[in-house]
Amino acid sequence: LQRGPLYRARLLALAEDEHLLLLTLHHIVSDGWSFGVLVGELSALYAGETLPPLPVQYADYAVWQREWLAGERLERQMAFWRGQLAEVPALQLPADRPRPAVQSHRGGEVWLELPGELVLALKDLCRSHGVTLFMALLAGFDVLLSRASGQQDFAVGTAVANRGRRELEGLIGFFVNTLALRARLDGTSSGGDLLDQVRETTLGAYAHQDLPFGKLVEELRPVRDTSQSPLVQVMLVLQNTPLPVPRLGDLVAVPLAADAGSAIFDLTLATREVDGRVACRFEYAADLFERTTILRFAGHFRRLLGAMTADSGMRTADLPMLDDGERQQLLAEWNATAAPRKPIETVHALFEAQAARTPGALALLHGERRLTYGDLDARADALARRLRARGVGPETRVGLCCDRSVEMVIALLGILKSGGAYVPLDPEYPAERLSFLLADAAISLVVTTDRMAARLDLTRDGVNVLTVGADDPTGPAAPIAPRLGGEALAYVIYTSGSTGAPKGVAVRHANSVAFLSWCLRTFPPALFAGTLASTSVTFDVSVFEIFGTLAQGGTIVLAENLLDEAALTAGDRPVTLVAAVPSVLEKLLGSRRLPDTVEMVALAGEAVPRILVTALHERHPATAVLNLYGPTEATTYTTLAALEPSAVWPPIGRPIANAATYVLDGEMKPTAVGVPSELYIGGAGVARGYLGRPALTAERFLPDPWGSPGSRMYRSGDRVRWLSDGELLYLGRLDQQVKLRGFRIEPGEVEAVLKESPEVREAVVLVREDAPGDRRLVAYLVFASSEADVSDLRRRCRERLPAYMVPSAFVVLPRLPLLASGKLDRAALPAPEAARPDLAERFVAPENELEQTVAAAWQEVLGVERVGIRDNFFDLGGHSLLLVSLHEKLEARLSRKLSIVDLFQHPTVESFALFLAAGAKAPPVAALAERAAQRDEALRARKPFRPRSTR
Ligand code: AMP
Ligand code: MG
């Protein structure tokens, strides 16, 4: 403002008129101080005084600032701030809503008053640590922000008046400057240490306050985006000048607090000391936060300050933040999942009870084959008797190595009925891995089918083989097994192990019965009328599909996998329930629909993307979509959420019956709503532990301090946070573990196999997504000798690891890229090239037209330059999802219906072309079309199932 005669005349005119005055100053030309000047001048004019002339105008100041802040002086300031703010991460407070691409600056506010006693205690603290009230408030605010975000390094902004010279005091203009105050909290330092740190940071910043913030941003060039303010996202200000009140003769002027409804930053805490108390105003971005969240922050801020004043020697990570009500809610209310359990103690007894009720009902369907409950029970009994005769009893681990067939289900039940525990072995696993599993689980007997027995060579492992065939006599109904208690071992499922070998999770009957009891209570039996069982029995989702269905009296529709279209649509039992891995289903939906008969989709195994939820609801409005989360160690599923189309972040939901979920920080203390931390799982699902690995078991299965005496909780390694309604949100892993199309992989296990080779000096395995939706496992290698050969390593992996753990690409580097800290710079690892030179030696060009067509489709789907007819689809980086794309392409190019399962079974161009030429039998297209045409309108109008509670 050029304050000449015109300004004065205007102000005077305003003052003389008897009007309500509304004075507004835009921040671009003024600041808080300016407002005091304006009000003072108004009061003076009203009283008839004249204003003294101004020694300088704002424009003079601007010119001076330009000249003064140049050259070496500027460089000194810049150097200081560069050092202060190098690589400062943006503060990511856990928001209630996703950050919009462009900030709307809509704001809200919440008020808090720090009571007199607290302010006195704070001032005592300030005196003993030689800090100002502002610094003490900043220390408390830093702790709050760190605890809320889980971050230990960030910057908080503050504003300084920046009127260091007398001549500037009477000016109206924008002088105020923003200073970024970096906080580093490592959790081990005390409140006192933090105060010392804050003092140093703040004084340093004051000493270099002349550099305008805008110039600093220009210089540091933080990544600029429209969704976030640069360098600082959160502000703290202490206003220590009294609120300017105009003195207008006998008129009374009262300052009114105006909520502008806007927010410049994600969060601004404006404080002011009034009559010995401190008024705190939290202004927040309404794009990001709910009011209740900020109210919670305010409460935590007050409690943290109180705790810090009470004991400044306490570590900041230990300062209590939650009140009793919050603790009660987190630990008790949201875990009040107790529900009556079935008096039945074993998994097979649940099935037997159902078989006794409905012996004639259809239990199992596989292609043309079908078994009633009565038949299935009798056949499983017969197998159990044979197993008993071989000495199987409680705690005996029996291998189960079957192709997907009715025999597989008979074998599952037979082993349990004999009192033993089943250990699923995928017949596709390489021999070395099967040998490892047999030895690790001390298995001496494997149940298999006739077809598999011919293919497998298990005798060299010294194990006996028992085949279960279609024509086995059911035998006399002699009693079978000893009575088993719930503590008995039911199954052992192996998962990838980070130390190089897979580990077996030992699950008791009681764990599974608790889970199945929840199934029985939560879902109406009709949902299981046609359960697509598509999950390998080496994963525990199969327990839901198979035993969940059998406990409900439903029918299992056995499928090769989720892409098995014949099972999905051609079975004469309509499929009502599908359990699916999100990425696989997403791919499937890219080209086809689920049958309209599907009433529920149970998603599990990896994070559910929102786009999938939207797609499912749009295309299958009558189908319930559930998100089920759970590690094998806590028995199949731990939490459930019904996914509504409106959810911006699909949650994993709440604990199921008799389960407990705790979100705990590094100190094993519950974290507040919104605070990201590790999930611990307690309750009836917590498994016995890792088979034969007491040390690892002790590391991951800990005493549950909130459970019943003696109970344990499983440390999941998953990063989650509570939403304010008591649902959990999944945020990712805290370690390197990855999920690839639902398969759980410890990269360390793959790295260990690679490093066994003496030629490999270093190996890093990770998941990359270079093309959208195409996540694949990539190995980076540094060789010790030039002799080394990638194809040897690939073979080695294939001999040792399940197919899904074999990297799709191997990249050889002269050395691994490192960060300044010496850690691996993951971002600098190059994308693998599409060309596969290591496969060149066995290249056989396509010969006939059919082979050429198939090979061309492969090239496009895989993005590789050339494809030989002997190359294996999966070696070239193919996986089940790419197979779906290939399937689509080939159907179009060859103008015929094909089955994905056949593609699986013929993974080379040569074999698939031969199979086609031999007159592959295509599914009956006409029958499919007819069934589609008959879609029942009533089905479309069906009310979707919505679980009301998770108990
Ligand atoms: P698994 O033992 O194979 O069931 O793998 C368990 C792990 O898979 C969990 O620890 C999670 O990291 C991940 N996971 C399983 N289900 C979900 C889900 N619904 N949402 C997100 N992650 C999941
Ligand atoms: Mg699971």
Assigned token pair, 63: 């010119």
Name the DSSP letter for residue 737.
Answer: -
Between 582-591 and 610-619, two packed helices, what is the crossing angle to 10 degrees?
Answer: 40
Residue with CA nearest ligand 1 atom 10: 631
Burial class (CB in 10 A: 0-12, 13-18, 19+), 325: exposed
Please give the distance, rounded to the nearest whole angstrom, from the Cα atom of residue 539 to the centre of ligand 2: 8
Residue with CA nearest ligand 1 atom 21: 607
- In 3-state terms the chain splits into helix, strand, coil percentages (rounded to 5) of 40, 20, 40
Question: Ligand 1 in contact with 741 (CB < 6 A)?
Answer: no
- Please report, for residues 406, 506, 910, the alpha-carbon distance to residue 446 in angstroms, rounded to integers and kept in the order given: 17, 18, 34
pLDDT given at position 257: 63
Question: Ligand 1 in contact with 716 (CB < 6 A)?
Answer: yes
pLDDT given at position 935: 43
Residue with CA nearest ligand 1 atom 15: 605
Please give the distance, rounded to the nearest whole angstrom, from the Cα atom of residue 54 to the centre of ligand 2: 74
**Averaged pLDDT for residues 290-301:** 96
Q: How far is CA 812 from the centre of its chain?
A: 31
Distance from C-alpha of 638 to C-alpha of 659, rounded to nearest angstrom = 7
Q: Which ligand 1 atom is at minimum distance from the Cα of 539?
A: 3
Name the DSSP letter for residue 840.
Answer: G
**Which of 367-371, 403-407, 697-701, 909-913 has the weakest average pLDDT?**
909-913
Q: Transcribe 870-930 into DSSP letters.
A: T-BTTTTT--HHHHHHHHHHHHHHHTS---HHHHHH--BHHHHHHHHHTTPPPP-HHHHHH
689-705: per-residue pLDDT in tens? 999 999 999 999 999 99
Question: Ligand 1 in contact with 451 (CB < 6 A)?
Answer: no
526-567: per-residue pLDDT in tens? 999 999 999 999 999 999 999 999 999 999 999 988 878 777
Please give the distance, rounded to the nearest whole angstrom, from the Cα atom of residue 225 to the centre of ligand 2: 38
Between 406-417 and 347-357, two packed helices, what is the crossing angle to 10 degrees?
Answer: 110
**Beta pairing, strands 107-114 & 277-285:** antiparallel
> In 3D, which of 313, 337, 710, 372 has the Cα closest to residue 555?
372
Residue with CA nearest ligand 1 atom 6: 631
> In 3D, which of 649, 804, 791 has the Cα closest to residue 722?
649
Q: Which ligand 1 atom is at minimum distance from the Cα of 603?
A: 19
**Averaged pLDDT for residues 324-346:** 92
- Order of strands across the sheet with 577-580? 369-372, 362-366, 556-558, 531-533, 577-580, 600-604, 624-629, 639-642, 654-655
Ligand nearest to the CA of 583: 1
Q: Name residues whose C-beta falls within 8 Å of residue 378's C-beta, 6 or more positions apart in sequence.
A: 474, 477
Name the DSSP letter for residue 310.
Answer: H
383-407: per-residue pLDDT in tens? 999 999 999 999 999 999 999 999 9
Question: Ligand 1 in contact with 910 (CB < 6 A)?
Answer: no
The sign one gets for the Cα dihedral 542, 545, 549, 551 is: positive
Please give the distance, rounded to the nearest whole angstrom, from the Cα atom of residue 752 to the centre of ligand 2: 24
Please give the distance, rounded to the nearest whole angstrom, from the Cα atom of residue 682 to the centre of ligand 2: 15
Sole residue written with tokens 């050889």: 812
- Please report, for residues 852, 902, 906, 914, the alpha-carbon distance to residue 921 in angstroms, rounded to integers and kept in the order given: 21, 10, 14, 13
Question: Ligand 1 in contact with 155 (CB < 6 A)?
Answer: no
22-53: per-residue pLDDT in tens? 666 777 788 888 888 888 888 888 888 888 88
Residue with CA nearest ligand 1 atom 7: 631
Distance from C-alpha of 173 to C-alpha of 38, rounded to nearest angstrom = 11
Q: Transcribe 49-78 into DSSP letters.
A: --PPPPS--HHHHHHHHHHHS-HHHHHHHH
Question: Ligand 1 in contact with 871 (CB < 6 A)?
Answer: no
Question: Ligand 1 in contact with 714 (CB < 6 A)?
Answer: no
> In 3D, which of 909, 896, 874, 878 has the Cα closest to residue 774?
878
* Most informative mutation of 635, 739, 745, 746 for ligand 1 (most atoms within 8 A of CB): 739
Distance from C-alpha of 597 to C-alpha of 575, rounded to nearest angstrom = 6
Question: Ligand 1 in contact with 739 (CB < 6 A)?
Answer: yes
Question: Ligand 1 in contact with 678 (CB < 6 A)?
Answer: no
pLDDT given at position 447: 97
Please give the distance, rounded to the nearest whole angstrom, from the Cα atom of residue 671 to the centre of ligand 1: 21
pLDDT given at position 941: 56
- Would you say 156 and 141 are in contact if contact means Cβ atoms under 8 Å apart? yes
**Averaged pLDDT for residues 179-192:** 93
Please give the distance, rounded to the nearest whole angstrom, from the Cα atom of residue 226 to the centre of ligand 1: 34
**Averaged pLDDT for residues 712-725:** 96
Distance from C-alpha of 74 to C-alpha of 78, rounded to nearest angstrom = 6
Residue with CA nearest ligand 1 atom 1: 631
Q: Which ligand 1 atom is at minimum distance from the Cα of 744?
A: 3
pLDDT given at position 39: 86
Question: Ligand 1 in contact with 730 (CB < 6 A)?
Answer: yes
Question: Ligand 1 in contact with 496 (CB < 6 A)?
Answer: no
At residue 923 the predicted structure's pLDDT band, cuts being 50, 70 and 90, is very low
Given a cut of 80, whether residue 931 has pLDDT beyond it is no
User: Apex CA 742: angle with CA 521 and CA 949, to 5°?
Assistant: 20
Given a cut of 80, whether residue 940 has pLDDT beyond it is no
pLDDT: which is higher, 553 or 342: 553
Distance from C-alpha of 443 to C-alpha of 446, rounded to nearest angstrom = 7
The sign one gets for the Cα dihedral 363, 364, 370, 371 is: negative
Distance from C-alpha of 894 to C-alpha of 320, rounded to nearest angstrom = 68
* Most informative mutation of 629, 652, 728, 733 for ligand 1 (most atoms within 8 A of CB): 629
Q: How far is CA 779 from the centre of its chain?
A: 23
Please give the distance, rounded to the nearest whole angstrom, from the Cα atom of residue 545 to the centre of ligand 2: 13
805-847: per-residue pLDDT in tens? 999 889 999 999 998 888 899 889 998 875 444 444 457 788 8
Distance from C-alpha of 605 to C-alpha of 615, rounded to nearest angstrom = 19
pLDDT given at position 924: 40
Q: Name residues whose C-beta falls within 8 Å of residue 664's C-beta, 6 or more positions apart in sequence.
A: 670, 671, 677, 678, 680
- Would you say 760 and 512 are in contact if contact means Cβ atoms under 8 Å apart? no
At residue 426 the predicted structure's pLDDT band, cuts being 50, 70 and 90, is very high
Q: Transcribe 217-243 into DSSP letters.
A: HHHH-PPPBTTB-SS-SEEEEEE-SPP
Given a cut of 90, whether residue 159 has pLDDT beyond it is yes
Given a cut of 70, whether residue 252 has pLDDT beyond it is yes
